[in-house]
Structure 1
Amino acid sequence: MTIPDLRHLGAPGTEITLRVTPKASRNMLKLEEGGALRAYVTTVPEGGKANAAVVKLLSKALGVPKSRLALLRGHSARDKLFRVLE
């Protein structure tokens, strides 16, 4: 699992936009040139499984509990918007 250190984004109120690729070969977060964030998860996009895997990856990278991440937009889309809660 490849996870970059994103603790600087873990402040309450921070909104994080990322693009998700489900059914990838491994779980990883990738910070691309220009600051875009991509998440690759091995799970299938059925019943929220891929979203749960993204939350797990993102919480580790941010250094915050999973309960402090809220998915605001993109529940069934590849482009997602998360907010770090207090």
Structure 2
Amino acid sequence: MSTPWLRQIGQDCVVFSLHVQPNARCTEFAGLHGEAIKLRLAAPPVDGKANQALCSFIAEFCDVPRRAVSLLSGESARAKRVQVEGVDEETLRRLRRLG
């Protein structure tokens, strides 16, 4: 299964593309949006709160410390690229099943 939104870099690092919908009722993955995975985010897009909530949610989903998640692009856009370090095989399988 091809996942254009997910790239593995090295042994335990991934980069993925997101389409973020802020101010959602709850924070959850919501399928594909073009070549990105859609993420509904409960946080408002004010003062960086959405980006903080995004990185915290991704860290929890991937079972890594918050410091292992970094926003590569899209700080003030809905289209974002996120890098996660320390991803194990089980987490990689869960990520691939999202799309």
**TM-score interval (norm. to shorter):** 0.7 to 0.9
Q: Deviations over 1:33-84 (max 9, x none)?
A: 8874111112110111001111111112212111101101000000000112
CA RMSD in angstroms, aligned pairs only: 2.2
Instruction: Specify every segment of 5 or more residues in structure 1 that has no aligned partner in the other structure, as ranges.
Output: 1-8
Matched, 1:61 2:98: no
Mapped to 2, the partners of 1:22 and 1:61 lie a distance apart of 18
By relative contact order (CA 8 Å, sep 6+), the higher-ranking structure is 1
Partner of 1:48: 48
What is the TM-score when the length of structure 1 is the normalising length? 0.75
Higher strand share: 2
The 5 A counterparts of 1:1-86 are 12-32=12-32, 36-85=36-85
Flag as ranges the 4+ runs of structure 1 deviating above 4 A.
none
Aligned-residue identity in percent = 29
Q: Quick check: which has more Rg, 1 or 2?
A: 2
Q: Partners of 1:41 and 1:34 in 2: how far apart?
A: 18
Question: In 2, are the aligned partners of 1:14 and 1:83 still within 8 Å (CA)?
Answer: yes
**What is the Cα deviation at residue 27 of structure 1?**
1.2
2:19–2:33 contact (8 Å) kept in structure 1: no
**Unmatched tracts of structure 2, length 5 or more:** 1-7, 87-99
